[in-house]
Amino acid sequence: MKEAHVPVSTAKQFTHFVLAGAVAAAANYGSRFAFSMWFSYPTAIVFAYLVGMVTAFVLMRQHVFDAGDKPLGRQVFLFTVVNLLAVLQTLAVSLLLARWVLPGLGVKNHVEAIAHLAGVVFPIGTSYLGHRYATFR
């Protein structure tokens, strides 16, 4: 017997999105430190973003947008497109902060870590809208 679909309020859905995103962001942020042992800062950010992206897709599809019964291939494609735009935002914010803003403000310790954290947080709103109205529609 299939469960009846109960609409989720936008506020509740956004809260779940943020929680799932926080788990994915932790995977992203944490893995960047490991990748930085072998790769440059920008390359490590991109690889870490991929770790976060896979984590986010699984969590969002099953627990946020209730899209498990919809075509997987289309969702993967659109999820990738939305996240390519978000990774560009993440990279731009991270590099801007790490290379110019934080040093200009006199920050000397953990500059790349602080900048990357801000870069990961930056695209939350645009990603939610992209996934809600495109990916998992």
More confident residue, 130 or 7: 130
- pLDDT of 5 reads 53
Residues 14 and 93: their CA atoms lie apart, in Å, by 23
Percentage above 90 pLDDT, the chain: 73
Each residue of 64-86: pLDDT tens digit?
A: 998 888 899 999 999 999 989 99
- pLDDT tens profile 1-27: 444 455 668 889 999 999 998 999 899
The pTM of this model reads 0.73
Contacts of 63 (CB under 8 A, 6+ apart): 16, 20
Give the number of C-alpha atoms closer than 13 A to the C-alpha of residue 76, restricted to the C-beta side.
5
The CA-atom distances, in angstroms, between 46 and each of 63, 69, 84, 88 are 25, 30, 10, 9
Range 22-49 average pLDDT: 93
pLDDT category at 124 given cuts 50, 70, 90 is: confident
